[in-house]
Chain A
Amino acid sequence: MNKPGLLDRRQVLTGVGGAIAIAATPLPAFASQEDLDRARRELFGDRLIQEGRVTVKLPPIAENGFSVPLNVSVESPMVADDYVKRVAILSPRNPLPNIAQFHFTPQSGKAVVATRIRMSGTQAIQAVAEMNDGSLWSGSMETVVTLAACVVL
């Protein structure tokens, strides 16, 4: 017999189980290396990507994943017949593999860009650059993202 106002054992167990299930489920399914590869194929197709010419700079340790300084530079003279068209920034561990895409022109003068990004955990950020001749180059860097002492969200 159920007393009004009191929870029976089943209700309590379902409630507790549900709460645990919610607490244990990270909201987004996090991306993986396969997701990064897929995102890269969507941007650049199956063309060959060579390592080099692209330098990714991140701090060795990021004290908060909400705002990590990122600097990407690509070796290029940035003149009308030899320049960087675009650079894609990709993550193997964020909820989404795409972070940003930067579009340059010969008037950019140099292919260097800096911004601040979100990183959900320690990972290697990859940058892929497409030159005006269609060739693709990449570089990457890993950063350790630490966990804050008192997480209050």
Chain B
Amino acid sequence: MASIRLAVPKTAQSGDIIEIKALIQHEMESGFRRGSRGEVIPRDIIVRFECSFEGVQIFAADFHPAIAANPLLTFHMRAEKSGRLLFEWTDQNGETWRDSADLEVI
């Protein structure tokens, strides 16, 4: 089970550009390392991150093995109305992890 940490302001003024942070626990095994017996440790990475607000994509990222373990992303969104942010990470095998946060625009 992967731990996820999200930092989204609870409230914002209409028109504010808010900062969003998303952190997920994942080894991001690069596929370039060897184990103690010299065997190559197989690649196991998250390849895609998407953040959407009420069904509209705000920001997305494609990851390669050079993204550090436990990937951290800081990005932004223009707040215009209240609603729910959805966060989704997908690994190379299609497994996904999701979380959400609510934003109130006042």
Which residues on A are within 8 Å of B, measured CB to CB?
22, 27-28, 66-68, 78, 91, 94-96, 98-110, 112-119, 153
Asked whether B78 is an interface residue with its Cβ less than 8 Å from the other chain, the reply is: yes
A117 contacts across to B, CB distance below 8 A = 66-68
A99 contacts across to B, CB distance below 8 A = 64, 66-67
B38 contacts across to A, CB distance below 8 A = 22
Q: Are A113 and B74 in contact (CB under 8 A)?
A: yes
B18 contacts across to A, CB distance below 8 A = 109
Task: Give the interface centre of B17, B67, B74 by most chain A CB atoms within 10 Å.
Answer: B67
A108 to B64, CA, bound (A): 22
Asked whether B58 is an interface residue with its Cβ less than 8 Å from the other chain, the reply is: yes
Secondary structure type dominating chain A contacts: mixed
Asked whether B106 is an interface residue with its Cβ less than 8 Å from the other chain, the reply is: no
A68 contacts across to B, CB distance below 8 A = 68
A96 to B65, CA, bound (A): 8
A112 contacts across to B, CB distance below 8 A = 74-76
Q: Within the complex, which residue of B33, B57, B66, B73 is in contact with A113, where a contact is CB–CB below 8 Å? A: B73
Q: Are B58 and A105 in contact (CB under 8 A)?
A: yes
1/0 contact string of B58-83 vs chain A (CB within 8 Å):
11111111111101111111100000
Q: Are B59 and A108 in contact (CB under 8 A)?
A: yes
Interface size for B (C-beta < 8 A) is: 31
Since A95-B30, A109-B76, A115-B72 are in contact, a sample of 13 more A-B pairs with Cβ atoms closer than 8 Å, ordered by chain A residue number, is: A27-B34, A28-B32, A66-B69, A67-B68, A96-B64, A100-B61, A100-B67, A105-B57, A105-B59, A109-B78, A110-B76, A113-B74, A114-B75
Q: Are B72 and A100 in contact (CB under 8 A)?
A: no
B58 contacts across to A, CB distance below 8 A = 105, 107-108
Q: Within the complex, which residue of A100, A102, A107 is in contact with B66, where a contact is CB–CB below 8 Å? A: A100
Q: Are B63 and A100 in contact (CB under 8 A)?
A: yes
Asked whether B87 is an interface residue with its Cβ less than 8 Å from the other chain, the reply is: no
